Structure 1
């Protein structure tokens, strides 16, 4: 005979929040999340107000244990990857350190529907509730997810609309020739009363020094090390100067009073990824956009020397220690290697002269030098500086010499890697 089937109902387990509310002496561990997406003054006050409000609100409830207010300032809400405080809060909640999270609205939490739903589901899976106060949504409510999906989509659409409006405004400003600089991180300028860049003389002196040192033959590495040793703060206020920072200053056209706008662009409003503009979008070149710190002539000369240094391996003989070391003081070009043959005695001479010597209407005034003359000059310099060692001439040159400036009067100024200088006439 078949036994009668019986069914027993097992009551649903109470959530952590319900248990904490019913337990005597047990308090909910509560945190809050606050965020503003810009660092403007009015947003700064909003940020401080959110932090203060939630701190007081949580601490005033006797049934709540204050965990903290996790806040991100000046960070976009369209994705959660770069929000340090947000990610730290979620990790703590998933590890069991938070029972309840309060936040002002869905748009403060995330404007990306996928991120919002995924994060809420992860928290819900471990019994952590999120309360969106503006929308009056509690994520442990079974009916919440549908409303959350709808409202998250609206927040994401709002973000897209804002992004499009901002992009349109930026394009309009560029077409109108307006120049905006990241003044907090830009050496030499501040925002003037008329909205245009205004020179800060104390910082401009540093910029001019960088250009002067480079044109005198100093390497970018040497300039960076010198500024660090002198205790000059970087544009971002740091103590150590990276080589890239010095090179960016040497290459930035804004120091000659011009501006090339839209060098890069944002791929999409969700990822916020930026790419170099290689022709995908129009660029806007504005001449005489603001007062220059560096004259156009000096700036252009620096660009030529930078290009020479960057591409020398493809243009010059690189199996000689002299390659990319000798610089023409007349035009700024590099000296290149050539071989002369004496027709009378069939002797071979290694000679060096400016690669641009015959490029212009007037040839450079700097002399043609025999390689043996340069070697002898280097030996004299080593004696004057007290440089000794068992190394070969070539190895010693590579380890000691940064660049050599060649002048029309056959004067050579050696700029050594250790910062010393020495002059010799050949």
Structure 2
């Protein structure tokens, strides 16, 4: 049971609070109003305004959209009394899911920090950002500047400095980010269906052009000798760096027309399977739609290797021989060509030393090497060994690792 004194004290305190509120008065106080957040369309409000525009691709349609955005919002700002257009910042062919490579956006933010901009006008939230984290951080940072910088999103009619804007901005940014994710999933599904039905993506490649239908690869007879020379020189023992030096000295041109060759560009020729008439799909993929960073496909996505897709410049045997040579050089083998060393005498006669750096030999290669020193399959049964008394002469022998010996 509650204590009666406690109940009485509580009721008295509640009554005292009510009397205090009822008798309170502000008659002797002078009201000092707070500084209102500027309303962007007030006629007496002067503002230095920046326009931001962005399109995600370099297509002609998007270029038209970009130009229209810039023209429309330049006129829009000019029509507002008290507004001064201080600049148009436009990123063309750049995704909104990340701030990477958005040089104009970053420049605009720096100009805001220097105090040169009071307001940013943008068509929609999706043009400003498709990343909730980046977008929220940018808007909050702009609001914390002195004086604060607001963003006006015309399609959504949202002003970032308004007290009721936070929820709406989070919601619209989330929708924009989800649109990007759905587009990424749809694109990956489209690629998967294309590759499984033989509709392949074949970017420009040295030694080939497209036919009149822009679908099939045909040999470019003026470029093909450069490809053949690269393979020939590599199989003769030249390094990729040495081949690059020769190509540069000869003035040979790459597909884009560049005459300055590097070891990497030569390696790109030697490792491209299309030179032997094959096409391998999905060599690289983008695991994260936000940062768009490419990653080499190591069985992360299903692939198809199409044979005889087009006329080959290099035979398959030469192509795969070069791949073995590249693998051998990559793992640090001393000799340029991989070698198998066979013991031609002694207790380990016919044994082949096994080196993990030599990644390009098969078991049949080792068997053939072993038989090359006169070790043939026995047709007369096991040999007879006769033991004699006396000391063992260890001269001519040497200690070997236990890995060479197998106990049965």
Same fold by TM-score greater than 0.5? yes
Of 122, 141, 149 in structure 2, the residue corresponding to residue 128 of structure 1 is: 149
Specify the alignment match of 1:295 in structure 2.
Answer: 315
- Work out whether 1:178 is the aligned partner of 2:199: yes
Specify the alignment match of 1:240 in structure 2.
Answer: 260
Go from structure 1 to structure 2 and tell me whether the alpha carbon gap of 1:257 and 1:44 turns closer, same or farther (over 3 Å shift). farther
Question: SS of the residue aligned with 1:272?
Answer: coil
Of 64, 69, 84 in structure 2, the residue corresponding to residue 65 of structure 1 is: 84
Of 107, 128, 134 in structure 1, the residue corresponding to residue 126 of structure 2 is: 107
Give the deviation of 1:234 after TM superposition: 4.4
Specify the alignment match of 2:170 in structure 1.
Answer: 149
Give the deviation of 1:239 after TM superposition: 5.3
Task: Judge conservation of contact 1:179–1:196 (CA < 8 Å) in 2.
Answer: no
Q: Distance in 2 between matches of 1:291 and 1:284?
A: 18
Q: Which structure's residues are more often strand, by fraction?
A: 1
Q: Distance in 1 between matches of 2:40 and 2:300?
A: 56
Q: Which segments of 5 or more consecutive residues in structure 1 lack a partner in the other structure?
A: 314-322, 326-332, 343-354, 364-426
Q: Which segments of 5 or more consecutive residues in structure 2 lack a partner in the other structure?
A: 1-24, 347-359, 370-408
Give the deviation of 1:339 after TM superposition: 8.1
Cα deviation per residue 1:287-329 (whole Å; 9 max; x = unaligned)? 122333323233222222222322343xxxxxxxxx415xxxx
Q: Give the superposed CA RMSD.
A: 3.7
Cα deviation per residue 1:90-115 (whole Å; 9 max; x = unaligned)? 12212222222222211111111222
Answer with 1 or 2: which has the greater Rg: 2
Question: Which aligned runs of 4 or more in structure 1 are off by greater than 6 angstroms?
Answer: 16-21, 336-342, 360-363
- For these two proteins, the number of residue pairs brought into alignment is 331
Give the deviation of 1:254 after TM superposition: 1.6
Task: Judge conservation of contact 2:126–2:176 (CA < 8 Å) in 1.
Answer: yes
Question: SS of the residue aligned with 2:54?
Answer: strand
Question: SS of the residue aligned with 1:306?
Answer: helix
Specify the alignment match of 1:207 in structure 2.
Answer: 227
Question: SS of the residue aligned with 2:175?
Answer: helix
Go from structure 1 to structure 2 and tell me whether the alpha carbon gap of 1:99 and 1:182 turns closer, same or farther (over 3 Å shift). farther
- Work out whether 1:11 is the aligned partner of 2:33: yes
Task: Judge conservation of contact 1:20–1:28 (CA < 8 Å) in 2.
Answer: no
Q: Distance in 2 between matches of 1:12 and 1:234?
A: 67
- Work out whether 1:139 is the aligned partner of 2:150: no
Task: Judge conservation of contact 1:130–1:138 (CA < 8 Å) in 2.
Answer: yes
Q: Distance in 2 between matches of 1:19 and 1:41?
A: 34
Question: SS of the residue aligned with 1:297?
Answer: helix
Give the deviation of 1:167 after TM superposition: 0.9
Of 295, 312, 335 in structure 2, the residue corresponding to residue 324 of structure 1 is: 335
Give the deviation of 1:18 after TM superposition: 6.7
Give the deviation of 1:215 after TM superposition: 2.8
Cα deviation per residue 1:17-62 (whole Å; 9 max; x = unaligned)? 8799647xxx633222222212233223323333444445546767
Give the deviation of 1:79 after TM superposition: 1.6
Task: Judge conservation of contact 1:179–1:289 (CA < 8 Å) in 2.
Answer: no
Specify the alignment match of 2:283 in structure 1.
Answer: 263
Task: Judge conservation of contact 2:135–2:173 (CA < 8 Å) in 1.
Answer: yes
Go from structure 1 to structure 2 and tell me whether the alpha carbon gap of 1:18 and 1:69 turns closer, same or farther (over 3 Å shift). closer
Q: Distance in 1 between matches of 2:32 and 2:250?
A: 75
Q: Distance in 2 between matches of 1:277 and 1:312?
A: 24
Task: Judge conservation of contact 2:90–2:104 (CA < 8 Å) in 1.
Answer: yes
Q: Distance in 2 between matches of 1:213 and 1:58?
A: 63
Specify the alignment match of 1:118 in structure 2.
Answer: 137
Go from structure 1 to structure 2 and tell me whether the alpha carbon gap of 1:138 and 1:293 turns closer, same or farther (over 3 Å shift). farther
